[in-house]
Structure 1
């Protein structure tokens, strides 16, 4: 099945692909030739999709999934994952009033906040990434998928490299994930998050405001503010979610300021970015990766 998903404003597709490529889990995702492909499981059925930029203001999707009744839900997930519903021109006009952000936005007017296909998957990634590098976290995620993910059945021949789907919550909740090569406390957190989702299916859904959205996450053992804010930004699409203690944000702002900065300074500096601090964070993260 072929779809085209529209969006407003510009779209920095290379930046989106760079972000996804750096975090692609072996066997689950493939980024190549200007496209992103992945496997998934929804309502007990496996599927795959590949997405790329289409002419004009749209993204082209090639979807393989047996239940057409789930199409609206799949489209909603894709729109969230690729940040297609943001009023990016308005967001960037607001952020560009900051003289430090203005030139970065001018160089990449289509920079969007990457989302995620699934809240549990993002939470697992976020917990795995606590206090280690992105590359190390993705290696652990690859082990998790290889050991606990179900094999992908009947993958399309034009999607080589997709072999498994992400593990289900019930599998992760009962697994001893510390055997993957991480601190036992982190394995406990991963299993605890999966169990919390089984008990509260709305765990990763946005609520009436940001503090209410992150409160159920912060109540979980081993989940701190950085993890909760990261999940709120990429899964719940909370535009003002912001982790002020993030090392990448501190490095990026320090490079722009020309001097070291503290988390307290970053938090105060970010007040003028409300209600779009999450988009400002993406601008800063991208400036660091691109060497701006």
Structure 2
């Protein structure tokens, strides 16, 4: 670096200002926070039970409690959710589960039973119902979401019938070389899953445990565009449906403690003869606010300490006079 003696470098008044502004920006940048692209973004997973709604269902809405073991399966889901605006959010969800059930299709017909494996990918739009009826500045722990969307369901099904050993009546997502006229197949091999369009409709209720984690419960009805979800198809058959109810957790990115509602403090109001609604002017405290005998205020203690110090100072002066001035 070359230095020219007798000359000073030109002073830039904006240099210090720019440096100060840059340092302030570095200080304001939050450390350890995900990028802003994750604002309103969350991931979650649920697990629960599923059941079939169609021609081979022996119930209208849900299986009775005494028939749950033979008419329910399992469902687990993972999802990614991103809030948009005005209480709306987009949600991408993957479901995997099983269905089972069956019934006697007629007075003289044998009992028909089915087993179905399914996977589904759905893109859904959710709306916050609690936020729609609350004040703009309302912060609550509980939320209720209405959801609807569309997607694809992949499934593989087998149906059985017979009073003795169950024989395969029909199938979807399998292949066989043995195709007798009686449709009682024995040698089955897996083939690519059948697929159909799906329109899921449901609700999700959630509760905020903290500013990061929520617990939620989801109930969804899936309307598929096929009547062969259980392989039982007739000319008068309606489109099949299946439903699931699950519970799980949701992790929220970039949700801070300021977004989390404060806990309500419990009020310890003692019961009185006049009731709970008592104004401050009506309270008669009597002698309760008077100082307790034996306890002195801080001001009084300071005054007494000062007087004691003055007496000690006067005593020292008297001793000094007696010792030195009398000689």
Bigger RCO (CA 8 Å, 6+ sep)? 1
For the aligned pair, the TM-score class normalised by the smaller chain equals under 0.3
**Please, what TM-score do these two structures have when normalized by structure 2?**
0.19
**Please, what TM-score do these two structures have when normalized by structure 1?**
0.21
Greater share of helix: 1
**Larger Cα-atom Rg:** 2
